[in-house]
């Protein structure tokens, strides 16, 4: 047993300090990024926000809507193979798990169609099996951009980059419909996870995607300020017309279901039920119906532009260099002071 006494932070624990700026309008902020990926060597330009690979978020309709805004979508892994023909491959990740059937399916798809973006998704990215799978996919698809996760520590981010991932997906237990932390006791505060994984991945030329924990546009800004190259959104993009799920009407209100990928509900739909050797690590909720996703994305991007003007970042690329976080959680402040006094 070991106790790590270092203070770890989530998005609500901090605020971004404003800085003097010569900028005059939010309109001048450039939110696009251009990346040339470490392994695939291919350049890409767009807005580095990704709709999560969850039911009700990572849908073909979502991909079609967000492509118009140069925003990415990670399709959930339960689509039919023929549905991939309807997407713009420059802004869409095709998602796979690491089971034998996923391996067989991925190899078959790659044989018939070049995939620009591949997402390899597992709740636990720390297994040797996961690392081995990333290595295999890199061999099968040397020109594809591979995003793999989830992990929350620098050493594992480095391992995935060395195994062939271009982007490491960061986050365990931080999603709004994820209950991994309460069920397993495992997790990591998201802001600190992003800071540590970004530092490790960038040292090798890799990139990171913050996945989970964002409930406001301010959280998205904090993730980018912490060093995330991409930010993945689930609950913030759930409940929209593009969800692909039925709208539920209750008196004068409309709702759409939203559930975790490891929830009992998801396992019932996709696997015929929960296996007796595992526990549910997700929950099922009703989200207010929110209409077209374009309106929500515009609000998120508007908030992000405002953040950039507050710190004098003319481009999103500059935000992490212009960010100073203020610790605003009083309990953490007290703990940090006590820790410093004892050392």
Active site residues: 178
Angle at the Cα of 230 (from 225 to 231), degrees rounded to 5? 80
Q: Which long-range contacts (CB under 8 A, 24 or more apart) does 251-254 make?
A: 253/288, 253/289, 254/288, 254/289
CA atoms of 61 and 228, how far apart (whole Å): 26
Cα angle at 179 between 175 and 184, to 5 degrees?
Answer: 125
**φ and ψ of 130, to 5 deg:** -65, -45
Chain centroid to Cα 245, Å, comes to 21
Residue 341: CB atoms within 10 Å: 7
Partners of 49 in the β-ladder:
231
Q: Of 141, 112, 120, 130, nearest to 75 (Cα)?
A: 120
**Can you name the residues that pair with 263 across neighbouring β-strands?**
282
CB 16: neighbour CB atoms within 10 A? 18
Judging by DSSP bridges, how do beta strands 14-16 and 71-74 pair with one another?
unpaired
Structure tokens at 310: 């507050």
Please provide the DSSP assignment of 231-271 as one string.
EEESGGGTTSGGG-SPEEEETTEEEEEEE-TTBHHHHHHHH
Q: Give the SS3 label for residue 325.
A: strand
Look at residues 260, 220, 252, 236 and name the one whose alpha carbon lies nearest to residue 11. 220
Q: Give the residues across from 287 on adjacent strands.
A: 256
């Amino acid at each position: 047993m070991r106790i790590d006494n270092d203070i770890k932070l989530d998005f609500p624990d901090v605020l971004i300090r404003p800085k003097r700026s010569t900028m005059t309008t939010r309109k001048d902020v450039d939110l696009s990024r251009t990346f040339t990926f470490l392994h695939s060597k291919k350049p890409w330009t767009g807005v580095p926000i990704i709709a999560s690979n969850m039911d009700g978020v990572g849908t073909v309709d979502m991909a079609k809507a967000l492509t118009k805004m140069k925003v990415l979508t990670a399709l959930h892994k339960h689509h039919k193979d023929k549905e991939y023909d309807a997407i713009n491959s420059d802004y869409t990740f095709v998602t796979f798990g690491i089971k034998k059937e996923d391996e067989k399916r991925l190899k078959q798809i790659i044989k018939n169609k070049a995939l620009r973006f591949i997402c390899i998704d597992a709740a636990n990215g720390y297994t040797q099996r996961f690392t081995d799978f990333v290595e295999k996919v890199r061999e099968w698809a040397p020109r594809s951009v591979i995003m793999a996760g989830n992990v929350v520590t620098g050493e594992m981010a480095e391992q995935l980059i060395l195994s062939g991932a271009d982007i490491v997906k960061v986050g365990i237990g931080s999603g709004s419909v994820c209950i991994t932390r309460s069920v397993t006791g495992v997790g990591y505060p998201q802001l600190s996870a992003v800071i540590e994984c970004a530092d490790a991945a960038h040292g090798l030329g890799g990139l990171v995607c913050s996945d989970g924990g964002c409930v406001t546009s301010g959280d998205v800004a904090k993730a980018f300020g912490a060093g995330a190259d991409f930010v993945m959104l689930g609950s913030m993009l759930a409940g929209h017309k593009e969800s692909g799920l039925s709208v539920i009407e209750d008196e004068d209100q409309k709702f759409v279901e939203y559930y975790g990928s490891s929830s009992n509900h998801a396992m019932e739909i996709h696997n015929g039920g929960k296996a007796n050797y595992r526990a549910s690590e997700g929950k099922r909720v009703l989200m207010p119906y929110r209409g077209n996703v374009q309106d929500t994305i515009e609000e998120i991007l508007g908030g992000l532009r405002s953040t950039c003007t507050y710190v004098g970042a003319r481009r999103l690329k500059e935000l992490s260099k212009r960010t100073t976080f203020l610790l605003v959680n009083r309990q953490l402040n007290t703990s940090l002071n006590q820790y410093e006094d004892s050392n």
